């Protein structure tokens, strides 16, 4: 039994791969990782930018689509859906064997729609219908416009990966959007069991910002602890919500738990362990989506123990201590969400520019 199999079997946490590319899908790497215990895949515009602009694997598709007269977005759309669909097909046996518990692949709506509820809903519907697979999740950011979109999509039976959450308020908004979407679905007499969702709570980016402010305040003790503390408090809130009567009423009708998903779990600070944001956030009904390097480090030397609900009171004290140091944690998390949307939008447009340049080069050769 591999480390990833033990992570799931003994501790109830699913390891997903936070990466996708044509090379790992068709070269057998993804299938090998699935056999070693990977239970899902997530993607985002930055990942697709690296995959498409960083290799020649897509040149045949680019040339084919160029002849059809497709615009740059149309080419990206076809390629990304192709990769996501192929990955989902590889994971479909796991989806079936787990009765929909895992085996999902996530594809994000355009980050340009982060402040557009109607546009997000329309694009999510289009992607869901075009991919036409039950083990797809559509990623929607937990922005003010994204929350009602999540609620609507869940009510329609579309699986959602709610992303770019940094605060407890973000988590609560997403959790109750999921509940409200399921309640609307139940009221309409629709089945709940096949609807799945995860709540992607970002981790390491928080330490990247908070550590700098702690250093400026002359505090070393709290450095490298706040992102983990924040996630532990989100998990406590998750436990409270699923223990409540409102969720239990839905669970009795077959609703699936919306699992917290730990995202941004690669270690950015070389002074910290390369599996810091893995070993400290292990617990039932959770997912950790890992970049390939972090995934391989976990498989090599990750230590497994239930840690997600250890020292929760201490986690609360650490977050509270920030205010005494003059650090506005609410502002940090709000700013990080705005920056996250902007970063994905930048990557998305960089990707479109890369596709346009590659197409121009292919056209010139022909």
Residue 133 CA to residue 87 CA, distance in Å, equals 11
Angle, helices 204-216 vs 329-365, to 10°: value is: 130
Q: Cα–Cα–Cα angle for 184, 240, 143, nearest 5°? A: 55
Half-sphere exposure of 258 (CA within 13 A, CB side): 37
Active-site residue list: 139
325 neighbors 225 (Cβ within 8 angstroms): no
Q: Among 111, 87, 71, which residue's Cα sits nearest to residue 39? A: 87
226 neighbors 241 (Cβ within 8 angstroms): no
Q: Among 278, 269, 273, 348, which residue's Cα sits nearest to residue 307? A: 278
75 neighbors 62 (Cβ within 8 angstroms): yes
Show the tokens assigned to 274: 């390369």
Q: Cα–Cα–Cα angle for 349, 355, 361, nearest 5°? A: 140
121-126: long-range contacts, CB 8 A cutoff, minimum separation 24:
121/149, 121/152, 121/153, 124/149, 124/153, 124/158, 124/160, 125/153, 125/156, 125/158
Q: Among 196, 202, 221, which residue's Cα sits nearest to residue 339? A: 202
Handedness of CA 66, 71, 72, 73 (dihedral sign): negative
């Amino acid at each position: 039994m591999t480390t990833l199999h033990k992570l799931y079997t003994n501790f109830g946490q699913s390891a997903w791969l936070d990466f996708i590319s044509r090379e790992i899908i068709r070269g057998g790497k993804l299938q090998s990782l699935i056999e070693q215990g990977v239970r899902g895949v997530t993607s985002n515009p930055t990942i697709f930018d690296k995959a498409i602009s960083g290799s020649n694997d897509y040149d045949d598709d680019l040339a084919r689509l160029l002849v059809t007269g497709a615009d740059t977005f149309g080419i990206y759309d076809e390629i990304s859906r192709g990769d996501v669909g192929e990955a989902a097909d590889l994971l479909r046996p796991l989806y079936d064997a787990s009765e929909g518990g895992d085996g999902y692949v996530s594809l994000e709506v355009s980050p340009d729609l982060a402040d557009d509820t109607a546009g997000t809903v329309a694009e999510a519907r289009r992607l869901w219908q075009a991919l036409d697979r039950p083990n797809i999740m559509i990623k929607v950011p937990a922005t003010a416009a994204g929350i009602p979109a999540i609620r609507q999509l869940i009510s329609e039976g579309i699986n959602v990966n709610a992303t770019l959450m940094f605060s407890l308020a973000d988590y609560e908004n997403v959790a109750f959007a999921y509940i409200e979407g399921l309640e609307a679905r139940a009221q309409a007499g629709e089945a709940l069991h096949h609807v799945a969702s995860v709540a992607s709570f970002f981790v390491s980016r928080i330490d990247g910002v908070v550590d700098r402010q702690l250093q400026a305040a002359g505090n070393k003790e709290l450095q490298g602890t706040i992102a983990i503390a924040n996630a532990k408090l989100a998990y406590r809130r998750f436990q409270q919500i699923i223990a409540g009567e409102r969720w239990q009423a839905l669970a009795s009708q077959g609703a699936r738990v919306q699992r917290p998903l730990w995202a941004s779990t690669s270690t950015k600070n070389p002074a910290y362990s390369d599996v810091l944001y893995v070993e400290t956030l292990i617990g039932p009904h959770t997912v950790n989506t890992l970049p390939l390097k972090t995934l391989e480090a976990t498989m090599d030397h990750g230590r497994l123990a239930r840690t997600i609900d250890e020292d929760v009171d201490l986690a609360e004290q650490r977050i509270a201590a920030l205010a005494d140091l003059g650090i506005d944690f609410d502002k940090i998390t709000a700013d990080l969400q705005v920056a996250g949307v902007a970063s994905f939008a930048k990557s998305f447009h960089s990707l479109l520019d890369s596709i346009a340049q590659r197409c121009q080069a292919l056209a010139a050769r022909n």
